[in-house]
Amino acid sequence: MDEISMLRETFDAPAPSPAAEQRARAALLHHIAPKPAKSKKIWWRVPIAVGVATAAAVAVAVVIDKPAEQKSPVVRANPTMKATKSLPYLKPVSAAQVLENAAWTAEQENWTDPKPTQFMYVESRQMRNPPSIESARPNGALVPGKAKYRTVQKWDRIDGQVQGEIRNGRLEVHKQGDNQSQWGFIPWSQIVKLTSSAQIDAFLEHPEGGLSQDPDAMAGQYVLPPEVKAAIYRYLAEQPGMRINPDAVNLDGRPAIGLGRIEEGYLSQELLFDKETYTLIGERLVAVADHVNRGDDGTSYTHKGDLFRQVIYRKMVIVDRPGQTAP
């Protein structure tokens, strides 16, 4: 009898599932031979104004039969929970590891495919300057002491043809084409195909309906199936320049990990993940270097640490009609 068999017999640990073995093998191969970095693509980014439901905590138990190369104990989810395995990295040290934890968390979410007549309801809290400052030219960073959070509530029908939003305390509902109302919307038939990095690449190169969008923006703007959300996080993990922001972030009373990449040499566009559950809880755009902005509307000065955008995701669910905020 070998040592592993003795340990299993002594501690009576259940054998890992085929899915767990496959995941461990893939993680090890990725560690030994990481994929080459892909060239960075720049795509149109849509402002995010949405919320994400918090994933339920998963109970875990330590498993004895861990690979020698593993730095931290392998854990397995409590069999009474939906999950069949645990967070891939107990103490992630890189952006790729945090994103893999986020992908795993997304995969644990319950999901029922929506009907074409149902709506995606997204709710967020956005840090915004007062209107008088927002309308000024040139525009700049959020002003400490003046910028305040505003709640944003939106409903988008699955087929993209109807949209609702709370404005001035009232629900407004519009149809595509009514009173010249038009908005971009990625077809649901396209969204459900995005279950791998290869399919996301294909979408970015040849988007259905001609509308392309940053995958990280999609994660914050659409109510996505778990496998699509997970694929987006894994896609981002493969992109060059993804890094962890070492600065601590406290978002809505919750400590968060900032992940992103540098844009225009001085701005860090970040997704914010809960430090415990690795659920996506927000987004921000922050300056990481001083910069002088010169444009047709004037010159403005950016200082390291200036915050341009901060969003807290509060809720993301499928509902039956505009105005409804819970299933």
Which pLDDT tens digit goes with each residue over 221-255? Answer: 999 999 999 999 999 999 999 999 877 688 888 88
282 is a domain residue: yes
Please choose, from the candidates 232, 236, 284, 231, the residue with its C-alpha nearest in 3D space to the C-alpha of residue 257.
284
Residues 196 and 74 in one domain: no
Of 64, 83, 107, the one marking the end of a domain is 107
pTM exceeds 0.85: no
289 is a domain residue: yes
Reading the block at residue 169, the tokens are: 């305390």
Residues 183 and 86 in one domain: no
40 is a domain residue: no
145 is a domain residue: yes
How large is the C-alpha radius of gyration of the chain? 22
148 is a domain residue: yes
C-beta of residue 160 within 8 angstroms of C-beta of residue 174: no
Residues 214 and 69 in one domain: no
- Other CB atoms within a 10 A radius of the CB of residue 67 amount to 10
DSSP 248-287: EEEETTEEEEEEEEEETTTEEEEEEEETTT--EEEEEEEE
Residues 132 and 239 in one domain: yes
pLDDT < 70 positions in the chain: 1-85, 248
Instruction: State residue 44's pLDDT score.
Output: 36
Residues 79 and 171 in one domain: no
Question: DSSP state, 43?
Answer: -
Residues 165 and 295 in one domain: yes
Instruction: State residue 85's pLDDT score.
Output: 67
Please state the domain count of the chain.
2
Which pLDDT tens digit goes with each residue over 161-205? Answer: 999 999 999 999 999 988 877 888 999 999 999 999 999 999 999
114 is a domain residue: no
Cα–Cα–Cα angle for 48, 51, 54, nearest 5°?
140
90 is a domain residue: yes
Residues 130 and 249 in one domain: yes
Residues 262 and 236 in one domain: yes
175 is a domain residue: yes
Please choose, from the candidates 47, 121, 95, the residue with its C-alpha nearest in 3D space to the C-alpha of residue 309.
47
Instruction: State residue 75's pLDDT score.
Output: 28
Residues 212 and 259 in one domain: yes
Residues 29 and 89 in one domain: yes
Of 107, 138, 168, the one marking the end of a domain is 107
Residues 190 and 94 in one domain: no
Residues 237 and 269 in one domain: yes
By residue range, what is the domain housing residue 202?
119-319
- The rounded distance, in Å, linking the Cα atoms of 300 and 290 is 11
